[in-house]
Chain A
Amino acid sequence: MKIIKLGLILLIVTVLSATSLSLVYLQTADRILEVKKEKVYKLQKEILPLAESFEDIDEGTVKVGYDGDKNEVGRIISVSPKGYAGNIEMLVGIDNEDRITMIKIVKQSETPGLGSQVSKSDFLGQFKNKNLAGVFLRRESTDGEIDAITGATISSRAVAKGAQQAIQKNIKAKKSAEPDSEADEKD
């Protein structure tokens, strides 16, 4: 008898708690979703400042940015080159002329204080407006215009490599899309 009574009390407490939690959840759920969406939008907007709206293609690895008149102004490509300690997840913004608008590091686990500096704007700012030939390390390519971070060549090279991959991926995607459009025109 006692056990049933105790169990009942525990049940009542749990039900009360679950009810109050569901109320809190209903109050905050919409806002949490909104905050998350806003954060993603803000990041994308920072990478492609000209774009007003974004559309996911290629399972979300490529985002196409459109301006107010629905014209494409550039794309955001996600790549994850191999760094010194694991992969560096980064977003690369590319405009219609295959130049980089901005790079953001989403996740990295490089050596703190050395490799981790690749996510600072001092380093990433160098990539702005560079084309494929430019996004190599200065010491590794004659056209390269990127200065590696002292003591963190591997991490710097990884980010440069990510930028190259993104541009190449974008050019390739455009090329494979072109024959179709030409075929359309002939018809």
Chain B
Amino acid sequence: MQKWRDIFLNGIVKENPILILMIGLCPVLACSSTATDAFGMGVAATFVLLCSNILVSLLRKLIPTEIRIPIFIVIIATFVTITDYTMQAYFPQLSENLGVFVPLIVVNCVILGRAEAFAYRNTLLASILDGLGMGVGFTLAIVLLGIIREILGAGTVFNVKIGISNPATLLILPPGAFIGIGVLIAVWNALRKSKGSVSSPCASCGLRQMCHSSKEGECEALGQIK
């Protein structure tokens, strides 16, 4: 029981993809100007992550090692397209707001990273829990950022007015995204009293192997320059 709980909580706290690993930031910054958009993005990414984890884990014995990355990409792209079309059909407004970032889930390092680092090596149940944990961790971080930005920048939360008469519009504009995530990470670091939790941006990137990295968590490009 303890083991399953640890796998699930790993993605939310210890290895939160956004706040700790800082990967897959693009949609977090771009889709967090309102809490509603942030939640939509979080659910969409979680769905793709969960489905790809399940399929990769089920097929892990059948996928040849040499071509696993292309196969992962095809699997992820399939689920992303399914999400994209479903969203266009049933949530047209959300689909319009998120725009190009829905198909862009395909290049989100979190998803490829989990397929490569976890689902390909673990059982179905563990992969489901890992996908859920990572997805929830991603969603929590993006929604938190969305709520902060929407309250301070537009004076609403989930489109409900909360009586801030003079909101700081800057927060819902592009610079606000950078400020918001910076503050969030600073607070998170202070709370965790972490000793240099900053990890390499490609620490859990699924393409590590393709980078021919010599050291764990360090891409060849980064390594050579240093």
Direct touch of chains A and B (CB < 8 A): yes
With an 8 A cutoff between CB atoms, is A151 at the interface?
no
Query: Number of contacting residues on B, CB 8 A?
Result: 20
With an 8 A cutoff between CB atoms, is B104 at the interface?
no
Interface residues of B in 46-104 (CB under 8 A from A): 64, 66-67, 70-71, 74-75, 77-78, 81-82, 85-86, 88-90, 92
Q: How big is the A interface, by class?
A: 20 to 34
Residues of A within 8 A of B77 (CB): 17
Partner of B88, one of A6, A13, A28: A28
User: How far apart are A84's CB and chain B's nearest CB, in angstroms?
Assistant: 16
CA gap between A21 and B78 in the complex, in Å: 7
With an 8 A cutoff between CB atoms, is A24 at the interface?
yes
Given contacts A6-B64, A10-B67, A21-B82, contact A31 B75 (CB under 8 A): no
Report the nearest A residue to B174, measured CB to CB: A112
Residues of B within 8 A of A (CB): 64, 66-67, 70-71, 74-75, 77-78, 81-82, 85-86, 88-90, 92, 169, 172-173
Question: Other than the known A10-B71, A17-B75, what 10 A-B pairs have Cβ atoms closer than 8 Å?
Answer: A17-B74, A20-B82, A24-B82, A24-B85, A24-B86, A28-B85, A28-B88, A29-B85, A32-B92, A112-B173
Offer 22 A-B interface pairs, CB within 8 angstroms, sorted by A.
Answer: A6-B64, A6-B67, A9-B64, A9-B71, A10-B67, A10-B70, A10-B71, A10-B74, A13-B71, A17-B75, A17-B78, A20-B78, A24-B81, A24-B82, A24-B86, A25-B85, A32-B85, A32-B88, A32-B89, A35-B88, A35-B92, A112-B169
